[in-house]
Amino acid sequence: MADPVTPLYFRLVIRLLRPFPDFDFGFIKPVRARAAALLELTERARVLDVGCGPGGSFPFLRAAVGETGEVVGVEISPDVAVNANHRIAHHGWRNVRVLTAPAQTVALTGLYDGLHMFGAPDVYAAESALSNLLPRLRPGARVVFFGAKTSTRPQGWLLNPLLRRLFPKLTFESTPLPDAAPWAVLAPRLAAFEVREYFFGWMFLACGTYPGPASVSAA
Ligand SMILES: C[S@@+](CC[C@H](N)C(=O)[O-])C[C@H]1O[C@@H](n2cnc3c(N)ncnc32)[C@H](O)[C@@H]1O
C-alpha cells in the first residue's frame, strides 16, 4: 500500500534502518525508561503507544507489563509500521502488536491502563486524536508524553527560531509547530499533571492521571 503521509526523508531513513530492528539513539534511552516508569504499569496491564514509530519504546513498555500484559502500538505510516513489526518479530514478543492507523480513527477495543506518546505531537497536541484515545482509558490510567518545545531559557533566543524553521521540514504537514507549552491541549484533562524539561528546555516529558470521562467532558 502506498504511504500517503510520511515525509520522504523519514521513509528513506526507516528503510535504511530496516536491517537493524533494535536500532535506537543511546541518549534517548534514559528518557524512554523514565517515561515507562511514569506510566506505573504493572504485570497484566494494557498500554497504548500511539505514534509508536519503529517501536523504540517497546522494550521498556514490554518489560513493564511482562509476559501477561499487552503493548499496542498505533502508527499512521505503513512504512514505519513495517519496522515496528520487525522489532516485534526479532524479539519474538507475542503480546506486542501494531495497529496501522491514524490515532484519530484507530478502532480500539477494551480499556487500557496507560497511554504513551513519545515524540508524537500529531497525537498529544491534537484534539481529534485525544477524543478518540481518552475514552479508551480506564479511570486512573496514567498518560505520559514526550516531545519538542521552544526553550524559555537564555539560550532560547538563539535556537528557538532554528527549531521552528527546521521542524516543519522534518515532520508531517499536519504537525503543530512547537511552542513553550505543547502540553496545553492535554494537561487540563489530567489530574496530578507534571512536566519536566530536558535538553536545555527544548524537550519535555509530561505525565498525569486520566480521571475518567466525566472529568474529560467537563474540561
Ligand atoms: C517522531 S516519530 C516518534 C516515534 C516513536 N514514538 C519513537 O519514540 O521513536 C512520530 C511517529 O508518529 C507517527 N504519527 C504521526 N501522526 C500520527 C497519527 N495521527 N496517528 C498515529 N501515528 C502518527 C509518525 O508516523 C511517526 O512514526
Is the confidence at residue 52, as pLDDT, over 60? yes
* pLDDT tens digits, 22-41: 999 999 999 999 999 999 99
User: Band of the pLDDT at 216, cuts 50, 70, 90?
Assistant: very low
pLDDT, position 174? 83
- For ligand 1, the distance from its centroid to the CA atom of residue 116, given in whole angstroms, is 11
* pLDDT tens digits, 103-143: 999 999 999 999 999 999 999 999 999 999 999 999 999 99
The residue behind cell 536491517 is: 19
- For ligand 1, the distance from its centroid to the CA atom of residue 36, given in whole angstroms, is 17
3-state SS track over the chain: CCCCCCCHHHHHHHHHHCCCCCCCCHHHHHHHHHHHHHCCCCCCCEEEEECCCCCCCHHHHHHHHCCCCEEEEEECCHHHHHHHHHHHHHHCCCCEEEEECCCCCCCCCCCEEEEEEECCHHHHCCHHHHHHHHHHEEEEEEEEEEEECCCCCCCHHHHHHHHHHHHHHHCCCCCCCCCCCCCCCCHHHCEEEEEEEEHHHCEEEEEEECCCHHHHHHC
pLDDT, position 66? 96
* pLDDT tens digits, 73-89: 999 999 999 999 999 99
Mean pLDDT, residues 87-97 taken together: 98
CA distance 130 to 86: 28
What amino acid occupies position 50?
A: V
User: Band of the pLDDT at 217, cuts 50, 70, 90?
Assistant: very low
Cell numbers found for residue 208: 498525569
- For ligand 1, the distance from its centroid to the CA atom of residue 55, given in whole angstroms, is 10
Closest-lying ligand 1 atom to the alpha carbon of residue 6: 25
pLDDT, position 162? 85
Vertex 186, ends 213 and 126: CA angle to 5°?
A: 100
* pLDDT tens digits, 135-182: 999 999 999 999 999 999 887 888 888 888 888 878 888 888 889 999
- For ligand 1, the distance from its centroid to the CA atom of residue 6, given in whole angstroms, is 9
What residue's CA is closest to ligand 1, atom 4? 53
Residue to mutate, 3, 74, 75, 79, ligand 1, most ligand atoms under 8 Å from C-beta: 75
Is the confidence at residue 2, as pLDDT, over 70? no
- For ligand 1, the distance from its centroid to the CA atom of residue 119, given in whole angstroms, is 7
Residue to mutate, 25, 52, 115, 203, ligand 1, most ligand atoms under 8 Å from C-beta: 52
What residue's CA is closest to ligand 1, atom 27? 53
Q: Find the residues whose C-beta lies inside 6 A of ligand 1.
A: 6, 50-53, 56-57, 74-77, 80, 102-104, 118-120, 122-123, 129, 172
Is the CATH code 3.40.50.150 the one for domain 8-218?
Answer: yes
User: Band of the pLDDT at 215, cuts 50, 70, 90?
Assistant: low
CA atoms within 13 A on the CB side of 82: 15
Closest-lying ligand 1 atom to the alpha carbon of residue 74: 21
Is the confidence at residue 63, as pLDDT, over 50? yes
